[in-house]
């Protein structure tokens, strides 16, 4: 079923402050989180159509990524009568009373979960079918060209599947692909990452106790998987240890904790799409044939993004800290944008206009910050050192943290002095 939504990234950006207030208010925040199926208690500092970020303190953050615009869908479904009432009102008011419009005259078609948010990400199953009616040997099935793919539109699908033919050959081998928009990781240092799949069923009629692990994937289009992507999967474990058949849950999330290799394959530069696959490790990846049982199947079925709500979605949860620099000088030539935080000791002298753009927090342990151009929606926390930007700066908060702070609410502040006094504000970065 196609959902109709107007809750795109621009909407989330425009209403970020209000959303964060709702998510963090006592009692009301708990109720709003429950509506969005967000089951955490930590302060939420950012929410996007497909992800939310919590603060763990001391410059440490954790972001929960989904394969498509799940939180857009929850906002739409939870208040559906309200949005449609606004929509019908706006069809009148936009013509006769524009000043009274809610801005919902056009409701954008929500991308199907199988094709990801705004055609950016998706989850899918790809498989190879035997060329011969009686089946193929295991080797050709593993290395063969993909024959079919399904960009998941059903609630569940195979994370992996192996099916024997009625002869001593093999009929099918399935793999699954999951892609995530990880733009929020730009400029961060990742300390932990967990990809979780919620199981719905499993079988082992082949009596081979198949396991499962996470690998990279390189689909030509991260939002629309095709049969040829069957071969566009990696063979190096992203965790270091496959999850055994016994531990593949059918009633809860199975967590795949990334090692340094997996964390290194998170996309932190453009186009910011992290691409992974789930495969059977002890037969598919190894290349050795499983035990053969006539017309039998071993598989693990998991929930995909089309499952109602967000509690069973494939998810990627990443814990990270700020961009850390022990000492020295940072001199970027381009804009630093959407960086959750930057912690450093030393000197930063970037070139270009608006070099600090929508950074949630910039923590200076010492040194001098001398940007060229305007600062836009930033929070600077100075434990020591100075900041000397020229000109007017919109939505900037500077906090001197060596002693107790005083608070003054501002929307625009001009900073020209070498040393900054205590300034704080209510307009957090979005």
Q: Which of 59, 89, 109 is the last residue of a domain?
A: 109
Determine how β-strand 170-181 pairs with β-strand 156-164: antiparallel
Is residue 54, in this structure, part of any structural domain at all?
A: no
Res 67: pLDDT:
86
Q: Are residues 137 and 269 in the same domain?
A: yes
Q: Are residues 94 and 201 in the same domain?
A: no
Q: Are residues 333 and 189 in the same domain?
A: no
Q: Are residues 284 and 328 in the same domain?
A: no
Q: Are residues 299 and 162 in the same domain?
A: yes
Res 392: pLDDT:
52
| Cβ atoms of 273 and 180 closer than 8 Å | yes
Peptide bond into 271 cis (omega under 30): yes
Q: Are residues 103 and 126 in the same domain?
A: no
Is residue 396, in this structure, part of any structural domain at all?
A: yes
Res 330: pLDDT:
47
3-state SS, 61-111, equals EEEEEECCCHHHHHHHHHCHHHHHHHHHHHHHHHHHCHHHCCCCCCCEECC
CA 105/CA 210 separation, integer angstroms: 52
The pair phi, psi for residue 89, each rounded to 5°, is -65, -40
**What range defines the domain where residue 22 resides?**
4-46+70-109
**Tens of pLDDT along the chain (430 residues)?**
344 356 778 788 878 888 999 999 999 999 999 988 899 999 999 999 899 999 888 778 899 999 878 888 888 777 766 655 655 555 555 445 555 554 444 433 333 355 544 568 888 999 999 988 889 999 999 999 888 777 656 789 999 999 999 989 999 999 999 999 888 787 677 888 999 999 999 999 999 999 999 999 999 899 889 999 999 999 999 999 999 999 999 999 999 999 999 999 999 888 889 999 999 999 999 999 999 999 999 999 999 987 776 678 899 999 876 554 434 444 444 444 444 444 444 444 444 333 444 444 444 444 555 554 555 555 555 444 555 554 455 555 554 443 322 333 222 233 222 232 322 222 222 2
Q: Are residues 329 and 269 in the same domain?
A: no
Give Dmax (Cα) for the chain.
82
Q: Are residues 126 and 213 in the same domain?
A: yes
Give the list of residues 6+ apart from residue 274 with CB closer than 8 angstroms, or none. 65, 179, 180, 181, 182, 265, 266, 267, 316
The pair phi, psi for residue 58, each rounded to 5°, is 55, 40
Q: Are residues 307 and 175 in the same domain?
A: yes
Number of separate domains in the chain: 3
Res 374: pLDDT:
52
């Amino acid at each position: 079923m196609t959902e109709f939504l107007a809750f795109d990234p621009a909407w989330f950006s425009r209403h970020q402050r209000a959303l964060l207030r709702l998510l963090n208010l006592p009692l009301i925040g708990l109720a709003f989180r429950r509506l969005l199926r967000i089951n955490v208690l930590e302060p939420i500092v950012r929410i996007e159509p497909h992800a939310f970020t919590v603060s763990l303190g001391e410059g440490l953050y954790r972001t929960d990524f989904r394969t498509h615009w799940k939180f857009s869908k929850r906002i739409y479904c939870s208040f559906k009568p309200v949005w449609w009432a606004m929509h019908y009102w706006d069809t009148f008011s936009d013509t006769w009373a524009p000043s009274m419009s809610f801005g919902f005259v056009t409701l954008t078609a929500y991308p199907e979960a199988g094709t990801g948010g705004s055609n950016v990400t998706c989850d899918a199953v790809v498989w190879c079918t035997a060329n011969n009616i009686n089946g193929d040997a295991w080797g050709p099935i593993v290395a063969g060209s993909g024959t079919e793919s399904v960009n998941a539109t059903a609630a569940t699908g195979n994370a992996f599947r192996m099916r024997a033919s009625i002869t001593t050959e093999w009929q099918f081998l399935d793999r699954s692909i999951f892609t995530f928009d990880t733009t929020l990781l730009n400029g961060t240092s990742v300390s932990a990452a967990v990809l979780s799949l919620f199981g719905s069923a499993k079988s082992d009629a082949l009596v081979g106790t198949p396991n499962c692990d996470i690998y990279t994937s390189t689909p030509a289009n991260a939002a629309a998987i095709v049969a040829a992507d069957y071969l566009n999967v990696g063979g190096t474990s992203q965790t270091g240890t496959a999850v055994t058949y016994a531990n593949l849950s059918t009633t809860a999330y199975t967590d795949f904790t990334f090692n340094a290799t997996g964390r290194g394959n998170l996309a932190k530069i453009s186009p910011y799409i992290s691409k992974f696959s789930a495969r059977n490790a002890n037969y598919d990846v190894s290349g050795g044939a499983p035990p053969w049982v006539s017309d039998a199947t071993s598989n693990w079925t998991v929930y995909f993004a089309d499952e109602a709500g967000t509690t069973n979605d494939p998810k990627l949860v990443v814990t990270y800290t700020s961009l850390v620099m022990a000492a020295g000088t940072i001199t970027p030539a381009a804009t630093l944008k959407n960086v959750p935080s930057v912690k450093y000791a030393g000197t930063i002298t970037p070139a270009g206009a608006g070099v600090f753009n929508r950074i949630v927090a910039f923590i200076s342990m010492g040194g001098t910050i001398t940007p060229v151009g305007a600062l836009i929606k930033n929070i600077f926390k100075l434990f020591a050192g100075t900041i000397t930007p020229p000109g007017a700066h919109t939505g900037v908060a500077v906090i001197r943290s060596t002693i107790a702070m005083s608070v003054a609410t501002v929307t625009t502040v001009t900073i020209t002095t070498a040393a900054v006094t205590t300034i704080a504000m209510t307009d957090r970065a979005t």
